[in-house]
Amino acid sequence: MNQSAQHGLPLDPLPGDMRGMAEVVTEYLVQFFCSLAERPVNGLPAKREAARRLRATPSEQGRDFASLFGEVREAIEHSYEYCSPGYLAYIPGGGLFTSALADFLAQGVNRYVGVSALSPAMVQIEENVLRWMASLFDFPAGARGILTTGGSLANFSAVATARHARLGEDFEDGTFYTTDQVHACVTKSARLAGLPHRAARMVPTDREWRMDVGALRDMVRADRAAGRRPFLVVASAGTTNTGAVDPLAGIGQVAVEEGLWLHVDAAYGGFFQLTARGRQRLAGIERADSITLDPHKGLFLPYGLGALLVRDGRALRAAHHEAADYLQDLGVAEELPHYNEYSPELSRDARGLRVWMPLVLHGVAAFRAALDEKLDLTDVLDAALREDARLELPWRPQLTVVPFRLAGGDDDANRRFLERINAARRIFCSSTLLDGRFTLRACLVVHRTHRDLIDAAIEIIRAAARE
Ligand SMILES: *Cc1c(COP(=O)(O)O)cnc(C)c1O
């Protein structure tokens, strides 16, 4: 090998180079976090052009860090600023420095947590996180959980587990129940879990987009009488559209009576359980057989983190475990689980630390207070918009989504209304269809969103409604 032809950074850089690069990144991140409130919420314009400029293939000989970092920076700045206090679109995620730091460390030492034998103490840290989450919902000691990359994969494992536990190998005639407000990843999960399209039963909702419990019972009984096998009901604890919370206690009752697995998709709403109001609104969730959570929403962590909790940990394992001869040296998991037996994944990142480090450093109370503040601010925003006769707010927020539209305005008028709101570049809202009508929504989840921002948002929305 001709060494002189090689100019790139060695695969293991020299100590000074490691430090130098890490310092540049650290300094950039510090500036980033400190400037979030001032950064335009929709980022720099010409995002597609920036993307095109960055088209490239890696060279044989490598390049210097500074020029690469300049490009990465450009990519970052040409993005919507989901971490900004004014980002009220979809379900935002805040991002935490302490979580990024945990990832840097965990990826740096490259610890393996797919099985518990290689790095049991790192697995213990992940277990601490999962046990803490399970305790929020009063799940019993036999409960087990997994950290996934997001709510979608948590829902997938939940549906696969329910199918395996309740239907066994032959599940062609199985049926499950949810509403048309459920997140699309739930029906997608069912498809990926091998269930035919006809297995999905859409239960009607009430005026506030919550599942009609009586209709659920009737549909289950009718299906059973017709020879089908109802096995699962998926309730939402905070829908993405309107933040609606299905009547969990009533649904839980039907689930018990009818022998259905109750899965609660709490990807958006679940961590409001940390607050007194949230506990009230999610009452009944503790009866679930499984719960999906998204720490990258309700705990403000960076993207790439969902969680699934399952009341009967044996059911989760039964659905996912597959013996492998090449893993025989690892032994039987006793105190600590081999996560690969509970999830579709084997090798993966040590994602427990990115939750544990923020929880321990900031304390649980910091998360509770931030979520409580979002509930307060939702009331402030809802009340102020309600006062404006030009606006129509057909539903009271059940968590932190405020749906609104121009009173008497058609879809086009509301689409332009949304454009005017976002044109100010201080806040960013999104839209959805409700009863087939274009409806705007503001969703408050970013922990950096405080009263000053909401006051500004009220001004912006009212001014846009006047135009
Ligand atoms: C975000 C969300 C999901 C999907 O989770 P991802 O983390 O985006 O995969 C599922 N259900 C609800 C209610 C959500 O808000």
How far apart are alpha carbons 234 and 222 in whole angstroms?
A: 18
Q: In which element (H, E) is residue 134 found?
A: helix 120-136
271 close to ligand 1 (CB < 6 Angstrom):
no
Closest ligand 1 atom to Cα of 150 = 7
Atom 6 of ligand 1: nearest residue by CA position: 151
Amino acid identity of 9?
L
Q: Which of 248, 265, 398 to mutate to test the pocket of ligand 1 (most atoms within 8 A of CB)?
A: 265
* Angstrom distances, CA of residue 402 to CA of 232, 353, 394, 450: 30, 33, 10, 16
Tokens representing residue 294 in the block: 């998204």
240 close to ligand 1 (CB < 6 Angstrom):
yes
| pLDDT tens column, 119-141 | 999 999 999 999 999 999 999 99
Residue 251 Cα to ligand 1 middle (Å): 21
Residue 148 Cα to ligand 1 middle (Å): 12
Residue 170 Cα to ligand 1 middle (Å): 29
> Does residue 279 sit in helix, strand or coil?
helix
Burial of 160 (0-12, 13-18, 19+ CB in 10 A): buried
Query: Quick one: CA dihedral 65, 109, 317, 292, positive or negative?
Result: negative
Q: Which residue has the tokens 């503790």?
A: 286
161 close to ligand 1 (CB < 6 Angstrom):
no
Q: What is the DSSP string of 168-209?
A: TT--TTEEEEE-TTS-HHHHHHHHHTT--GGGEEE--B-TTS
Atom 2 of ligand 1: nearest residue by CA position: 267
Closest ligand 1 atom to Cα of 268 = 15
pLDDT score, position 423: 95
Residue 186 Cα to ligand 1 middle (Å): 9
Q: Which of 149, 236, 240, 285 to mutate to test the pocket of ligand 1 (most atoms within 8 A of CB)?
A: 240
How far apart are alpha carbons 267 and 18 in whole angstroms?
A: 37
* Angstrom distances, CA of residue 331 to CA of 28, 118, 341, 351: 44, 11, 12, 23
Residues with pLDDT less than 50, the chain: 1-4
How far apart are alpha carbons 301 and 446 in whole angstroms?
A: 10
263 close to ligand 1 (CB < 6 Angstrom):
no
Query: Quick one: CA dihedral 335, 341, 346, 350, positive or negative?
Result: negative
Q: Which of 146, 182, 185 to mutate to test the pocket of ligand 1 (most atoms within 8 A of CB)?
A: 185
pLDDT score, position 1: 44
